[in-house]
Amino acid sequence: MTTPSPRTSQPVRTAIFPVAGLGTRFLPATKATPKELLPVLDRPLLQFAIDEARAAGIERMVFVSHPSKSAIERYVHADEDLSRKLREKGKHSIADRLEDAAIDPEAEEAHFVMQPEPLGLGHAVLCAVDHVLPGPVAVILPDDLIMGGPGCLSEMIDAYAGAGAGHMVATMEVARDEVSAYGVLDPVGETGGRLLHASGMVEKPDADKAPSLQAVVGRYVLDGSIFDDLRNQTPGLGGEIQLTDAIAKGVARVGLCGFRFSGQRFDCGSKAGMLRATLAYAGSREEFHPVLQDHSALAMAAE
Ligand code: G1P
């Protein structure tokens, strides 16, 4: 592996949100409601991702969506009419919550671009190319909900300038029989710290061929050259343009490291993960503690 040149630290100003997937695993719930708008209690999955990007100082959010999911666009933008009606009725705290959730055009921008065909995560990221600001870009997969700690993306961006790698991916160790569901890092040595330098990355390897148990979860900070690599990327696993393959291609040039984040990650692409996230979120809100206590008392009685 050639040694990548030292990086200049340009700020990370853009976050790309791939939200074009049709959420078939959650049908019929996702027949008329985009998967990203399914609620974790009273907060859509997408809102967690938007708030995480905001906390990380992202200026521009690019949503790569699907023509059938126009509800996402409606959700993201402010609804002045609804706010006004709520305020007229004296429901100020609900109006405040609604306004806080929506994009504030004075502080941030939302761009929408369509990915009509499911050609892969790498293709989705490439769809955003004409909308990104100069410098490295963040990618957030809203299905991966990361709760607790400072936001995962904030932590990554704080560590990015000193990491000595142009591509940084959030990583966590998984069991061997789970590696085939993830992009997996090929680490170089073991630092024991939060950064894990890697010489490559493989998309969904078989358990017996995985280079490590260091799985990539849906947060990326990528050198701007990722778009050139994506443009030249041939289809990989499943016939799709894989983001993993384009990242791996840039390793010799820009470097790659995993980042061990401090929050807890929930796989909200699965029903069990969604349920776990909902229980954890309820646990973080005192008003729901009596419900959780009743539930655990019931569960113990049933044993
Ligand atoms: C995608 C990526 C994979 C990554 C995963 C994290 O896969 O392709 O590399 O590990 O997200 O959730 P998906 O879960 O969309 O199949």
Confidence (pTM): 0.94
The pLDDT score that the predictor gives to residue 167 is: 97
**How many CB atoms lie under 10 A from the CB of residue 242?**
25
297 Cα: distance to centroid of ligand 1 (angstroms): 36
Pocket test for ligand 1, best of 22, 216, 256 (most atoms within 8 A of CB): 216
Q: How far is the CA of 147 from the centre of ligand 1 (A)?
A: 18
CA of 170 to the centre of ligand 1 (A): 11
Q: How far is CA 256 from CA 13, 148, 213, 228, 246, in A?
A: 20, 25, 16, 16, 12
User: For every one of its 303 residues, what pLDDT tens digit does the chain have, with 9 covering 90 and above?
Assistant: 444 544 557 899 999 999 999 889 999 999 999 999 999 999 999 999 999 999 999 999 999 999 999 999 999 999 999 999 999 999 999 999 999 999 999 999 999 999 989 999 999 999 999 999 999 999 999 999 999 878 999 999 999 988 989 999 999 999 999 999 999 999 998 767 899 999 999 999 999 999 999 999 999 999 999 999 999 999 999 999 999 999 999 999 999 999 999 999 999 999 999 999 999 999 999 999 999 888 877 677 777
State the angle between helix axes of 289-302 and 271-283 in degrees (0 to 180), rounded to the nearest 10: 120
Atom 15 of ligand 1, nearest CA residue: 121
- From ligand 1's centre to the CA of 265, what distance in Å? 13
pLDDT at position 6 is: 47
Q: What is the per-residue pLDDT for 1? A: 46
Out of 3.30.420.40, 3.40.50.1100, 3.10.20.440, 3.90.550.10, select the CATH number for domain 14-302. 3.90.550.10
Nearest to 133 by CA among 108, 158, 115: 108
Q: Quick one: tokens of 299?
A: 């569960």
In Å, what is the CA distance from 104 to each residue of 61, 85, 217? 12, 19, 28
> Of 36, 182, 233, 242, which is best to mutate to test ligand 1, by the most ligand atoms within 8 angstroms of its C-beta?
182
Q: Which atom of ligand 1 is nearest to the CA of 21?
A: 15
CA 296 to each of CA 42, 147, 263, 266: distance values in angstroms, whole numbers, following the listed order:
22, 22, 24, 21
Ligand 1 atom closest to the Cα of residue 216 is 10
Q: Ligand 1 pocket by C-beta < 6 Å: which residues?
A: 121, 141, 144, 182-183, 203, 215-218, 243-244, 269
Read off the DSSP letter of residue 211. Answer: S
Identify the residue whose tokens are 């607790």: 148
Sketch the domain layout of the chain as residue ranges. Answer: 14-302
Kindly give the distance from the C-alpha atom of residue 239 to the centroid of ligand 1, in angstroms, as a whole number. 15
Measured in whole angstroms, how far is the alpha carbon of residue 63 from the centre of its chain? 12
